[in-house]
Amino acid sequence: MDIPELSVRELEALFEQSPVAMIFTDRELRNRRANAAFRQLARISDDTLIGRRPSETEGADWLLDTELIEQVLAEQVLGKGIPVVNMPLERIDEGKRRVISWTAYRVMDNGQVIGVVGTLLDITEEAEAEAALRQANDRLDLLQRAGSEIGTTLNVYRTAEELVALAVPECGDRVTVELLEPVLLGEDPSPNPSELRFRRLAVQDTVTPGAGNFAPGEPFSIPMSYSSGAVFLRGDLLVARNRTELSQLELPSNIVQPLLDRGVHALLSVSLRARGVTLGLANFTRSKTPGAWDETDVRLVTNLAARAAVHIDNARLYTREHEAAVTLQRSLLPRSIPPVAGLEIAYRFQPASRAAEIGGDWFDVIPLDRGQVALVVGDVTGHGIQAAATMGQLRTTTDALAHLGCPPDEIMRQLSRMVASYGEEAGATCLHAVYDPRTGHCQLTSAGHPAPVLRHPDGRAELIDLPPGLLLGAGQATYPAKELPLPPGSILALYTDGLIERPGQDISIGMSQLARALGDGPTGSLDELCDAVIASLAPDPRDDVALLLARTEVVPSGA
pLDDT for residue 30? 93
Output the 3-class SS for 267-293. EEEEEEEECCEEEEEEEEEECCCCCCC
In this prediction, residue 370 carries a pLDDT of: 83
Asked if residues 240 and 212 have their Cβ atoms less than 8 Å apart, the reply is: no
- Per-residue model confidence as pLDDT tens digits over 314-359: 888 877 777 777 777 777 777 778 888 889 999 998 877 654 456 6
| Domain 333-552, CATH among 3.30.420.40, 3.20.19.10, 3.60.40.10, 2.30.130.10 | 3.60.40.10
**Per-residue pLDDT at 372 exceeds 50:** yes
Assess whether the region 8-122 and the region 144-319 belong to the same CATH fold: yes
- What value does the mean pLDDT take over residues 133-161? 84
Q: Between the CA of residue 39 and those of 42, 50, 52, 64, 90, what are the distances in Å? A: 5, 11, 15, 14, 18
Per the CB < 8 A criterion, the answer to whether 491 and 518 are in contact is yes
Q: Residue 204: what are its φ and ψ, rounded to 5°?
A: -135, 130
CATH architecture, range 8-122: 2-Layer Sandwich (3.30)
Which tens digits make up the pLDDT trace of 267-311?
999 999 998 899 999 999 999 888 888 888 899 999 999 999 999
The amino acid present at 364, given as its one-letter code, is: D
Distance CA(310)–CA(315), nearest Å, equals 9
- How far apart are the C-alpha atoms of 444 and 452, rounded to whole Å? 9
**Spacing of C-alpha 410 from chain mean position:** 49
CA distance 331 to 388: 10
Q: How confident is the model over 485-494, as pLDDT tens digits?
A: 999 999 999 9
CA 327/CA 319 separation, integer angstroms: 12
Q: Against a cut of 0.85, is the pTM above it? A: no
pLDDT of residue 446 exceeding 70, the answer is yes
Q: 369 in helix, strand or coil?
A: helix
In the chain, domain spans: 8-122, 144-319, 333-552
Compute the distance between CA of residue 32 and CA of residue 179 in angstroms, rounded to an integer. Answer: 67
Cis omega (within 30 of 0) for bond into 169:
yes
CA proximity to 449, closest of 490, 482, 485: 482
The one-letter code for the residue type at 258 is P
The class level of CATH for 144-319 reads alpha beta
Residue 306 DSSP code: H
Q: How many CB atoms lie within 10 A of CB 241?
A: 15
